[in-house]
Structure 1
Amino acid sequence: MTSVSPSVVLIDDDPEVLASLSQLLSLVDIPVRTFNSALDALPLLNDGFHGVVVSDIRMPGMDGMNLLQTLNTSIPVILITGHGGIAQAVEAMKLGAFDFLEKPYKPDRLVELVQRALEQTQASLAISSIAISAPADLSRILIGDTAPMVALRNQISSLARVNADVIIRGETGTGKELVARSLHDLSIRAEHPFMAVNVAAIPENLLESELFGHEAGAFTDAKNRHIGIFEAANQGTLFLDEIESMPMAFQIKLLRVLQEREVTRVGSRAPIPLNVRVISATKEDLRVAATEGRFREDLYYRLMVADIVIAPLRDRAADIPMLFQHFMQLAGEDNNIPVPALTADDLLALELHDWPGNVRELRHTAERFMLTRSYSDATVQELLQIGSSNRVSVQTGDGSLSDRLESIEKSLISAELRHHQGNIKAVMEVLDLPRRTLNQKMQKYQLKRDDYTD
């Protein structure tokens, strides 16, 4: 089979711009075809096209944004404009653009983007015949069958294929770094570095040196050259955790690095080009923080080309038993301890607990349970301090008494269904419910027997 060399289609209604960009790309041996109308280019941009589109946004007839929405999403599109702002950049990336350049821009920046887009196209062609899909692989890493987890895996699979910077939002312990690592591992950058740094853990006076690097003699005690985290992550992915804690004074410096895609070490005047994807994580809504003046709005838009929100564990309670079993299995393998069977009371305790520490707390609880069971008959209820004498725990929080009782009733039925693997007769006997009543309650709480059978 003969491979087709990727090419670049340039679209701009200004002939001088077309000639300039064509010459620029031809000098680095990138084959180019030019069009002064998006409509004229469309016949070439079919499913058989394996190249990159570079298009102006403001054009008569079909503009760049309309072109973007018309094309197959597998075609990388780089949009150029002298009229748009950051908000338009975000909109373009959400619609699937590979990247966005605002005039004036450095010619080398365009060449770099085109080369990266071509690399992505070639990588996509190379893996298109692989039978195992990304979501199937992710299900072994990001465990859970609830709607939020299925949606999360699908979103990661889609975003991994593009070059957009991403913000991940979720409570402490929801697995933000695991999501960032998954985005990296499924991307064309997978063979390059994945660098993770907790911004909150770096003293403010060391932020610039740690992230951007420094030259020998740049300041007291700077005896040797230090490569910053941005430079170390070049060609790969940089994960900035707790980005909301970054001091306002440093945010403008980060914004410039993200805009120019180059970094200058402290004590140097020579910028270093960067080819790095930045994934940020936060516990709070940065849009609200920007509105309240605690986070720069322009930096928020630059970071938030795409966003992922991870649901807290309490919002996907049906995944808890599966996750707990998984973590018990891992703990058993690590410590050479047999994995005990969970009782219905254990499962109920797991589902009723609020899990403020989310998956991290669940994992630690599973590990403690395994170690404790190696020398005692402790239950999950006891471990969570629910109280072994009580069948359920009365939780405080929002909601009327009726709502809370319904929540407990649903958890009880769900726990028994799971424990008895969907055996309706066994659940009827344990809960002392007529079949008609149990069926009505299962329908009310949208509990399906098939979800609990092996």
Structure 2
Amino acid sequence: MSEQSVLFVEDDEALRFATVQALELAGLSVRAFAGAEAALAALPTDFDGVIVSDIRMPRIDGLQLLARVRALDKDLPVILVTGHGDVPMAVAALRDGAFDFLTKPFATDHLVAAIARALERRALVIENRRLRAALAAGETDSPLIGESAAMVRLRGAIERLATADLDVLVEGETGTGKELAALLLHRLGPRRARPFVAVDCTTLSEDGGAADLFGHAADSVAHTRLSRVGAVVASSGGTLLLDAVDDLSPAIQAALLRVIEEREVQPIGAERAEAVNLRVVATSRGDLAAAAAAGRFRGDLYHRLAITRLHLPPLREREHDRMLLFAAFVDQAREALARPDHAIGEAERHHVLAHGWPGNVRELRNYAFACVLAADDAPGEDRQDLPSRVAEFETRVIVDALRASAGNVVKAVELLGIPRKTLYYKLGRYGIDPDAFRRQGT
């Protein structure tokens, strides 16, 4: 909080000096001004702090200052301060966009608490703007979003390998973006205009998997007299993605090895093999070298696939990328779901940074979509409506007056400047007991 600052505007020199001292003792960095003109002149672009201003000032009053500040930056928090009991003015200020409204004399801890809330809100606004600027400024041209050293190296490696036309093994946990990396290798390379054929190896059965991958001639398999083009031939000239290659059966591994070594395939039942021109990109969820060493995967096939290797880091190792990724997914969700602008809240930010993300980027994307979907159902504290804010203000003013008068209703009425009947109505409405303040005063 001390890294952010407070612009304090108060024409009363004694009160200005005392308030600045109190705020600095609370750990806040404060710049004080005797008038709104000087404060506006000193207001920097994208100011990361909060403005606290008296309302009744010569030339430009606090309400006019609020209007000018909101014209410059509608998300900049402004806390206004005025005399006791000016409820209509408080309602007007809150309606016009004031973050909070305090009455004199105010307790320093009340002002510090209001400033802390405002600074927290401002930090979120600034971070939202930074993330959106990063996404719009071309720092994330690649769909593999991230500013961490690992992601910068990964994008550079993909760009270099894309033009090399070599087979590539892409390793990483589930949800890290292995298929996206494979697609980039294809799109950035000379085969971009040719087919990109993805095969999910987890779906290749022991019986039908070979036909899916290598195809078959007419009348060569049960239940059909037609021939079938397999994924290998379909990808000729382009790229064949073998997703989760570590799930292939030993028999299909053996047949695949021959295809990769000879660059030819013989469909089931065919009399001869046919040449294919393809690039193979394989993905593995685990350590394929360890699987080969343990005998769970063919060692010769591993060495043929792993001419070059890429490793995608898990999201738990990419702490500095999480908010940028989340902001990108929030924007995707807004467009896909036709929702209005979604400002990332503190609870969302905390979850993104604190969660372990075992499902990696895929889980983060799902969370972003869930947040945008839930936004309409959970307005939250930041979207508190005007009647609720006025009720909160009135409660605070009445409590301050009762505390100052030790629970004496007659004195409280004088301080508040309202009829006794009105005060009793509001005491009942807000559940405030004057006797509690009499006991405090004894």
Normalising by structure 2, what TM-score?
0.54
Q: Report the equivalent of 2:65.
A: none
Deviations 1:190-247, CA, capped at 9 Å, x for gaps = 0000000111112111111011100111021132010000000000000001100111
Partner of 1:91: none
2:155 is matched with: 153
* Equivalent residue number for residue 238 of structure 2: 236
Per the TM alignment, residue 340 of structure 1 is displaced from its structure 2 partner at its CA by: 2.1
Structure 1 stretches of 4+ moved >6 Å: none
SS in 2 for 1:252: helix
1:374-453 aligned at under 5 Å gives the runs 374-377=376-379
Give the Cα–Cα distance (whole angstroms) in 1 for the partners of residues 240 and 139 of structure 2: 22
Report if the CA contact (8 A) 2:334-2:342 is conserved: no
Which of 177, 200, 203 is the equivalent residue of 2:202? 200
Report the Cα offset of residue 138 of structure 1: 6.6
Aligned to 1:268: 270
Deviation at 1:137, TM superposition (A): 8.8
Give the whole-Å Cα distance in 2 for the aligned partners of 1:366 and 1:204.
38
Question: Which protein has the larger Cα radius of gyration, Structure 1 or Structure 2?
Answer: 2
Q: Map 1:298-447 onto structure 2 (within 5 A).
A: 298-377=300-379
Equivalent pair of 2:192/2:238 in contact (CA under 8 Å)? yes
Q: Return the structure number with greater relative CO, CA threshold 8 A, min gap 6.
A: 2
Cα distance, 1:249 vs. partner? 2.0
Q: Deviations over 1:59-96 (max 9, x none)?
A: xxxxxxxxxxxxxxxxxxxxxxxxxxxxxxxxxxxxxx
**RMSD of aligned alpha carbons:** 1.5
Whole-angstrom distance in 2 between the partners of 1:289 and 1:378: 49
Matched, 1:289 2:291: yes
Partner of 1:89: none
CA distance in 2, matches of 1:338, 1:242: 38
2:223 counterpart SS class: coil
Q: Which ranges of structure 2 fall in alignment gaps of 5 or more residues? A: 1-137, 382-442
Distance 1:217 1:179, change over 3 A: same
Question: 5 Å matches for 1:167-182?
Answer: 167-182=169-184
Q: Give the 3 Å change call, closer, same or farther, for CA 138–167 of structure 1 in structure 2.
A: farther
Aligned equivalents of 2:380 and 2:241: distance in 1? 39
CA change 1:372–1:306 in 2 (3 A) is: same
C-alpha displacement of 1:259: 0.5
Deviation at 1:377, TM superposition (A): 3.1
Deviation at 1:334, TM superposition (A): 1.6
The superposition leaves residues 133-156 of structure 1 with CA deviations (integer Å, 9 ceiling, x where unpaired) of xxx797341111011110110000
8 A contact 1:138–1:153 mirrored in 2: no
- Structure 2 CA distance, aligned partners of 1:140 and 1:377? 34
Q: Secondary structure at the match of 1:239?
A: strand
Q: Deviations over 1:1-28 (max 9, x none)?
A: xxxxxxxxxxxxxxxxxxxxxxxxxxxx
Q: Does the 8 Å CA contact 1:339/1:370 hold for their aligned counterparts?
A: no
8 Å contact from structure 2 (residues 172, 313) kept in 1: yes
Distance apart, 1:378 and its partner CA: 6.1
Task: Give the whole-Å Cα distance in 2 for the aligned partners of 1:277 and 1:373.
Answer: 44
**SS of the counterpart of 2:170?**
strand
CA distance in 1, matches of 2:355, 2:268: 49
Q: Distance in 1 between matches of 2:160 and 2:337?
A: 37
Q: Deviations over 1:317-373 (max 9, x none)?
A: 111111111111111112221132123343122111000000100001000110011
Which residue in the other structure is 1:278 paired with?
280
Cα contact 2:186–2:196 (8 A) shared by 1: yes
1:39-58 correspondence runs (5 A): none
Distance, in Å, in 2 between the alignment partners of 1:138 and 1:165 is 26
| 2:167/2:305 contact within 8 Å kept | yes
SS of aligned partner of 2:208: helix
Whichever residue aligns with residue 310 of structure 1, its letter is: L
Change (3 A) 1:290 1:140: closer
Distance in 1 of aligned mates of 2:363 and 2:196 = 25
Alpha-carbon distance between aligned partners in 2 of 1:157 and 1:324, rounded to the nearest angstrom: 24
Question: Is the contact between residue 204 and residue 248 of structure 2 (CA under 8 Å) also seen in structure 1?
Answer: no
* Equivalent AA in structure 2 for residue 294 of structure 1: R
CA distance in 2, matches of 1:270, 1:377: 67
Could you tell me whether the CA contact under 8 Å between 1:165 and 1:305 is conserved in 2? yes
- Structure 2 residue 209 is matched with structure 1 residue 214: no
Retained in 2: the 8 A contact 1:194–1:239?
yes
**Is 2:204 the counterpart of 1:183?**
no
The amino acid of 1:311's aligned partner reads P
CA distance in 1, matches of 2:234, 2:197: 8
Correspondence for 1:58: none
CA–CA separation in structure 1 for the residues paired with 2:248 and 2:294: 15
Q: Taking structure 1 as reference, are residues 219 and 137 closer, same or farther at Cα in structure 2, changes over 3 Å only?
A: farther
Structure 1 residues 201 and 373: CA distance shift in structure 2, 3 A: same
| Matched position secondary structure for 1:227 | coil
CA distance 1:333–1:347, shift in 2 (3 Å): same
What residue is the counterpart of 1:249 in the other structure?
251
For the 8 Å contact 1:321–1:350, the answer to whether it is kept is yes
Report if the CA contact (8 A) 1:328-1:339 is conserved: no
Closer, same or farther in 2 for the Cα pair 1:160/1:137, shift >3 Å? Answer: farther
Structure 1 residue ranges without an equivalent (≥5)? 1-135, 380-454
Instruction: Name the CA distance, whole Å, in 1 between partners of 2:261 and 2:140.
Output: 31
